[in-house]
Each structure stands twice: as structure tokens, then as C-alpha cells.
Amino acid sequence: MVALDVPPEADIQRIQTLLEHGEANGWWHWEEGCVTAAWEASASAKDG
């Protein structure tokens, strides 16, 4: 298990895209733990 601490100035959408790409290719599985409002908003923007 690995935990990532994503700093607030990071490109959140790019990180989410990378995580999803790796999972789609069978490289890893990922789950969200404690997330910020910015992370949730980014995920909602991609889904909507």
C-alpha cells in the first residue's frame, strides 16, 4: 500500500487522469482516502 500526499498547488486533474490511466491499464488499483474540497470538485468537473 502506498499513500500519496498531493500538495494544494498540484495539478489535481492531471494527477487524477494519471491514476485512472494506470488503473485502466491494469498497472494499479487506487482508492481515495481523506480528500480535500478541491480534489472532490476536480473529480466532479471531470464527471459532469
Query: What's the confidence (pLDDT) of residue 48?
Result: 62
C-alpha span between 37 and 27 (Å, rounded): 27
Residue matched to cell numbers 498540484: 10
Whether 8 shows a pLDDT value over 90: the answer reads no
| Alpha helices (H) along 1-48 | 12-24, 37-47
C-alpha span between 20 and 26 (Å, rounded): 10
Q: What is the pTM of this model?
A: 0.77
What cell numbers appear for 12 in the block? Answer: 489535481
Q: How confident is the model at residue 1 (pLDDT cuts 50, 70, 90)?
A: confident
Q: For 17-25, which contacts have Cβ atoms below 8 Å and span 24 or more sequence positions?
A: 17/46
Mean local confidence (pLDDT), 8-22:
93
